[in-house]
Structures are given as C-alpha cells and as structure tokens.
Amino acid sequence: MFHWLEKNPFFFAVGVFLFVAYAGIVQILPNFAKQSQPLVGTKPYTVLELAGKNVYIKDNCMSCHSQMIRPFKSETDRYGAYSLSGEYAYDRPFLWGSKRTGPDLLRVGNYRTTDWHENHMLDPTSVVPGSIMPKYPHQFENLADIETAYAEALTVKKVFNTPYDQEGMPPLGTLEEAKAHALAQAKKIAADMKTQKVKDAVANGQIPEIVAIIAYLNSLK
C-alpha cells in the first residue's frame, strides 16, 4: 500500500490532504468552537452600552483605536492581558480595528474613569498633553438613540439567543422598561460627571451621547 503511494505522487498528495483535513476536523475545529464560546463572566451589552457603542461607531473611533491586544509583551505590559476570542462573543460587529493612532481600548474600563472620559471627550489635551484627538462637544448636546439600541438588543436576543435573561443583566422587557433601565444606569454615570448640562438632562429623563459612550467604554474590561 505505502510503496504504491510512493510511486504515485498524485494519490500520495491526495492521501496527505485527506489525512490532514481529517485531523483538522477532529482536533482543530472543536477546539476553535470551544474557544469562541463566551468566557465565564462575559455579559451582553446593556441597552445603554449598546447605544454608546453605536456612538463609538458613528463618530468613527475605530479609525484610530483598536480593540485587540496581541500576545506580545510590549502590548500586554501597556494594555493588559491579550485578547481571547470568547471575549467578543456578544460583539456585533467586532471593533478590532486595523490602525492605532491612539491606544488600544479593549480594557480601557480597567484604568480610566467616568470623569476622565468626560474631560477627554470635551478637551483631549486637558488630560493628554499634545493629543491630536479631536474634541467631541456634540456628544454633550446630542441625545443617545436608545430605541435603536433596544431594537438591536431584541434582535440579537431572538436571532442569536443572546442571554439577556442571565443573572445580573436587566431584562429587556418592553421598550419603556428598557428605557427605564438605561436611564437608571445613566443616572449612576452622570453622578460622577461635572458637566451640569449633562446632569440636568439625565435628571429630566434624557440621555446625552456622552453618557452612553462612557457607559460603553466603562464596560470594556
């Protein structure tokens, strides 16, 4: 059998291909599927955090910031533990990015605070001297789109079975219930902010974009 294969290189190549393909199916694919499952403790984004993620996308933050820490010492020393595929289980779309003008933000919630983000968005050079990041004053004026975020959460729950009913997560419920949960989360964030206009807006039941994007950034850990 083996001597025959040695004398027929075409069939030998086909045999090697089939053997490697079978090994891949048996060993690689199940392991890949396992690694892509949500890590223990990973939770879906709340409706407010999803609204903030949409602000992040709208303002094109991913053009300068990645969310993927590579397994190199220079990266883990600066940004924290390298990325694992299971951490992105509830990200749709992924915001890995392909360019770093600014730092990676995958674990920014571990070392930046609400008031830091507030100052940074209003005037980046006030907290990072020499920063080339633009100011985002419109985030303090525009209101977050909670209804679209709710629709997105409802869609991924139904289509991808995203577990919004797990312990520690506010249930989606109706749109009005989701808005109430988002406002409650927004009030906790606004309490740590100094911009009175934002505080007043939240107290009146409105959620500015700055509050939503801070909720999103705070969730990146």
Is the domain of 156 the same as that of 177?
A: yes
Q: Is residue 68 part of a domain?
A: yes
Residue 12 has, within 13 A of its CA and on its CB side, a CA count of 9
Q: Is residue 94 part of a domain?
A: yes
Is the domain of 123 the same as that of 159?
A: yes
Structural domains in the chain (count): 2
What pLDDT score was predicted for residue 149? 97
Whether residue 33 has pLDDT greater than 60: no
- For the chain, the residue count is 221
pLDDT (tens digit per residue) in 73-132 = 999 999 999 998 889 989 989 999 888 999 999 999 999 999 999 999 999 999 999 999
d(CA 132, CA 125): 8
Whether residue 4 has pLDDT greater than 80: no
d(CA 164, CA 181): 13
| Structural domain of 27 | 2-35
pLDDT more than 90, % of the chain: 70
Tokens 């690694």 belong to residue? 35
Is the domain of 7 the same as that of 97?
A: no
Is the domain of 25 the same as that of 53?
A: no
Q: How confident is the model at residue 170 (pLDDT cuts 50, 70, 90)?
A: confident
pTM here is 0.84
Is the domain of 199 the same as that of 102?
A: yes
Average of pLDDT values for 184-205? 97
Domain harbouring 76, CATH code: 1.10.760.10
Is the domain of 74 the same as that of 18?
A: no
Is the domain of 197 the same as that of 88?
A: yes
Q: Is residue 101 part of a domain?
A: yes
Q: How confident is the model at residue 151 (pLDDT cuts 50, 70, 90)?
A: very high
Is the domain of 12 the same as that of 120?
A: no
Average of pLDDT values for 4-8? 69
Q: Is residue 186 part of a domain?
A: yes
Q: Is residue 120 part of a domain?
A: yes
Is the domain of 183 the same as that of 155?
A: yes
Q: Is residue 40 part of a domain?
A: no
Is the domain of 109 the same as that of 11?
A: no
What pLDDT score was predicted for residue 70? 93
Is the domain of 10 the same as that of 78?
A: no
Sign of CA dihedral 193, 198, 204, 208: negative
Is the domain of 61 the same as that of 147?
A: yes
